[in-house]
Amino acid sequence: MYQATFKKRIKVLMYATLVLWSIFAMFPFLWAFVTSFKTDQDVVNGATYFPGIDFKPVLSAWTNLFGGESIPIGGPYLNTVVISITSSLFAMMIGSLAAYGLSRFRFKLGRFGNDDISFWFISLRIMPAVVIAIPYFVMFNSLRLLDTQISLIIVYIGYNLPLVVWLMKDFFDNIPSELDEAAIVDGCSHFGAFFRIVVPLSKSGLLVTFLFCIIFSWSEFIFALILTINKSQTLPLVIIGRASTRIPWWEISAAALLSILPVAVLAFVIERYMIKGTLMGSFR
């Protein structure tokens, strides 16, 4: 009897903790959502929480996103979508092939082997972006690619490649090599075994890694700031740039929520693959 009561209390405590943590995690989004329906006067008058009760909600912040002059979000939004998806797809294709090679073949250069190569790949992410942003600027300026989508796509491919190689190698290591060896015995090439056997079995890891690439590309700021001027600006630049003089919190809140929405929806759609990928060892 005592043991059953104790377990029940533990369960209640666990759910109460989860609810409190969920409220804590969601509060910034709820606050931004409420703020997006305020006017400038409502914001400066102090904290108000309930639209229709504490203040009269208005849609001016949302209508200004596409129809007004405050935040020209349409072009940057499209730039962000094109650059993020294109760079992530190319990074996945190149990085997955490299990860498969490191997983299935043994490389040796003196005392350096596969583990050293894998560590070298992920160590590239340690380098601060600002260190290589200026050389990128000089290079793309000489190639007349400054302020273009192509320049950011190239940079983001290189920026995401180490992450793809590191994560996908661990995932490929969990797939028995006997499967692709059997396919090769049956007449498949190494590329055929990779695309016909390994890739279908790695769907979870591919989707999880693709989501990480999208997130990093979607929210990246330093490269976009230095390599774009006007035509190819992305969402983070537009949102931050709006706060350069007077800070319109209501419009920034609406723009931030709209920028988060696609990534949140994508994460929700592939949530079950993320869990499976974690359990199968995609992450260290």
Position 10 pLDDT exceeds 50: yes
Identify whether 134 is part of a domain.
Answer: yes
Q: What pLDDT does residue 138 have?
A: 93
User: 272 falls in which pLDDT band (50, 70, 90)?
Assistant: low
227 found inside a domain: yes
Question: Is-contact 208 217, C-beta < 8 A?
Answer: no
Of 66, 87, 113, the residue at which a domain comes to its end is: 66
Kindly state the tokens that stand for 127. Answer: 């380098």
Q: Write down the pLDDT at residue 71.
A: 59
CA distance 231 to 214: 21
**Rounded (10°) CA dihedral 200, 204, 205, 210:** 100
Residues 34 and 96 in one domain: no
Strand partners, 112: 109
- Please tell me whether residues 22 and 110 are part of one structural domain: no
Residue 236 near residue 217, CB atoms below 8 Å: no
If asked whether residues 91 and 188 sit together in one domain, one would say: yes
Same domain, yes or no: 48 and 79: no
- In this structure, are 34 and 79 located in the same domain? no
Domain count, the chain: 2
Cα→Cα distances 47→51, 54, 249, 255, Å: 12, 9, 13, 20
Structural domain including 102 reads: 74-279
The whole-number pLDDT of residue 224 equals: 92
Q: Which CATH number does the domain housing residue 196 bear?
A: 1.10.3720.10
Kindly state whether residue 284 falls inside one of the protein's structural domains: no
β-sheet bridge partners, residue 55? 51
Is pTM beyond 0.85? Reply is: no
Predicted local confidence at residue 283, as pLDDT: 41
State the pLDDT confidence band at 273, using cuts at 50, 70 and 90: low
pLDDT digit string, tens, across residues 53-112: 777 888 777 777 776 556 578 888 899 999 999 999 999 999 999 999 888 888 877 777
Do 128 and 27 fall into the same domain?
A: no
Summarised one tens digit per residue, pLDDT across range 123-173 is 888 888 888 889 999 999 999 999 899 999 999 999 999 999 988 988 888
The closest of 195, 176, 208 to 276, measured between CA atoms, is 208
Q: What is the pLDDT of residues 170-225, one digit of tens each?
A: 888 888 888 888 888 888 888 888 888 888 888 888 888 998 899 999 989 999 99
The pLDDT score that the predictor gives to residue 86 is 95
